[in-house]
């Protein structure tokens, strides 16, 4: 029998010899360093790692940092094309806007509280939204019509409760085809301004509910980098293309909408191509089923849309012209033929203006009090005696003047003219004017407050407060809380 020491004497000698050779090499052969700089020992007392934060803790931390300005800065990703003319916030958009497409060449830099708390904002698909409670005081007793979106007088209400699921195509790169998509759940009193006939429309057209639900945006985007300087094709249901204002409230300068916007088309269903020809020129063309109607309704008809946008090299001016929803113009649900022009001008770092004008019309509109019944939630026209149908045009123009005071504040003044010649859009054939003074204040980048004072006047006949008044004064405010 051998002792334990005798059994391992041989291997132990081998180990000692290998250690001696390794020590010799470390001390001077081959320039190899064996110092503690390369082989740091573990600390005697390692500091404990903090436990992972909960979802609600991360969400609370996002708002705390956002409202106190302590969020760590991140470098701006590369952008293709002209620089942005405006800061956003405080303004709703950083670029002169066009519809039917994401801004080509602009990276997706938005950071949302919900996504940051959910997965650290690491995914390209984003889930986010906002809540918009509003309040207004009015000289009218029931409804503020044709004012929008604070239709109901003297009350606190929920105009918009919105949930987005969105993926933006990467239009900065020009190497490969990319795609995006968008789905929206829309609830509140503002559903009446987005309702399409055939999309859950009985809430408004049959029952006239104060609150309702509408899946307002449902589309896919496909980006082709090699067509011009980039082309986006959008297919599905989307916001009607032209104009300064949009139905989703964060995209607007003010809480209430101009009269011009209150009566024009809101959504379309079809396909739209947007091509960036150069840094300054952009063109759009598409076909839809008409305004504010589902493709499966009898009111749908093939309708063409074509737009062109030009931005000067200084980025101080932009002109955007559109022929929107063009067909034979024969009367149907919201089948208005719209020719629209928008001009943006930047005077200085802090001042800019936005101006829009259009002409719209329908042919063969039923006469008020005549034998032909108009479509639900639409108005007949004041035709000449003896006519059962007639041509019904509208003309409108609006101007915004805006002044930025800080990274969180701006004021705005809006003046607005609408001539509803036959009363087909408002129910009263008269000329209207509207003037609104407002303030916008941001808390961080997630809460916006917009108080405003507005005066409306009908010049030819009484059209406010159920035909009792020619004028209307409203004091209103909304709050937008992003999540």
| 300 has a pLDDT exceeding 80 | yes
Instruction: State both tokens at 5.
Output: 């020491």
Burial class (CB in 10 A: 0-12, 13-18, 19+), 358: buried
Q: Give the C-alpha separation, 444 to 62, whole Å.
A: 11
| 29 has a pLDDT exceeding 70 | no
For 227-252, the pLDDT digits (tens) are 999 999 999 999 999 999 999 999 99
pLDDT value of position 15: 35
In this structure, the number of other CB atoms found within 10 A of the CB of residue 93 comes to 17
For 10-24, the pLDDT digits (tens) are 434 433 343 443 333
Q: Give the C-alpha separation, 254 to 415, whole Å.
A: 12
The whole-number average pLDDT for the span 363-368 is: 97
pLDDT value of position 46: 58
- Which residues have a Cβ under 8 Å from the Cβ of 380 and sit 6 or more positions away? 365, 366, 367, 368, 369, 370, 372, 374, 423, 424
Closest CA to 81 of 61, 103, 98, 60: 103
């Amino acid at each position: 029998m051998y002792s334990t020491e005798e059994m391992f004497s041989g291997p132990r000698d081998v180990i000692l010899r290998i250690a001696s050779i390794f020590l010799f090499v470390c001390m001077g052969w081959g320039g190899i360093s064996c110092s503690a700089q390369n082989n740091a020992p573990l600390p005697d007392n390692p500091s404990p790692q903090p436990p992972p934060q909960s979802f609600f803790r991360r969400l609370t931390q996002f708002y705390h940092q956002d409202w106190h300005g302590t969020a760590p800065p991140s470098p701006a990703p590369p952008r293709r094309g002209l620089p942005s003319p405006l800061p956003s916030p405080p303004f709703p958009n950083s670029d002169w806007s066009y519809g039917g497409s994401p801004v080509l060449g602009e990276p997706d830099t938005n950071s949302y509280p919900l996504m940051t708390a959910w997965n650290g904002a690491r995914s390209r698909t984003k889930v986010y939204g906002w809540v918009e409670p509003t309040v207004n005081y009015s000289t009218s007793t029931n409804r503020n019509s044709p004012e929008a979106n604070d239709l109901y007088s003297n009350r606190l209400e929920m105009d918009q409760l919105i949930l987005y699921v969105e993926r933006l195509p990467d239009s900065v790169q020009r190497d490969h085809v990319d795609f995006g998509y968008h789905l929206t759940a829309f609830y509140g009193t503002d559903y009446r301004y987005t309702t399409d006939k055939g999309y859950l429309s009985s809430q408004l057209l049959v029952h006239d509910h104060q609150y309702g639900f509408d899946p307002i945006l449902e589309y896919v985007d496909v980006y082709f980098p090699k067509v011009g300087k980039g082309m986006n094709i959008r297919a599905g249901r989307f916001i009607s293309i032209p104009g300064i204002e949009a139905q989703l409230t964060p995209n607007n300068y003010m809480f209430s909408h101009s009269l011009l916007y209150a009566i024009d088309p809101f959504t379309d269903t079809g396909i739209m191509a947007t091509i960036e020809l150069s840094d300054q020129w952009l063109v759009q063309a598409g076909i839809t089923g008409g305004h504010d109607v589902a493709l499966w309704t009898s009111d749908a008809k093939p309708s063409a849309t074509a737009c062109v946008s030009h931005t000067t090299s200084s980025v101080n001016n932009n002109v955007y012209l559109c022929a929107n929803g063009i067909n034979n113009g024969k009367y149907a649900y919201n089948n208005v033929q719209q020719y629209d022009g928008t001009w943006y001008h930047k005077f200085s770092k802090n001042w800019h203006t936005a101006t829009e004008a259009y002409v719209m019309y329908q042919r063969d509109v039923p006469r008020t009090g005549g034998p032909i019944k108009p479509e639900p939630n639409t108005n007949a026209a004041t035709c000449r005696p003896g006519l059962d149908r007639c041509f019904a045009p509208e003309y409108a123009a609006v101007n915004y003047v805006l002044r930025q005071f800080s990274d969180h504040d701006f004021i705005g003044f809006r003046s607005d003219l609408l001539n509803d010649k036959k009363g087909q859009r408002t129910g009263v054939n008269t000329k209207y004017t509207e003037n609104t003074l407002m303030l916008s204040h941001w808390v961080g980048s997630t809460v916006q407050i917009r108080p405003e004072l507005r005066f409306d006047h009908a010049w030819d006949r009484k059209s406010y407060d159920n035909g009792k008044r020619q004028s209307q004064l409203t004091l209103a405010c909304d709050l937008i809380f992003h999540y």
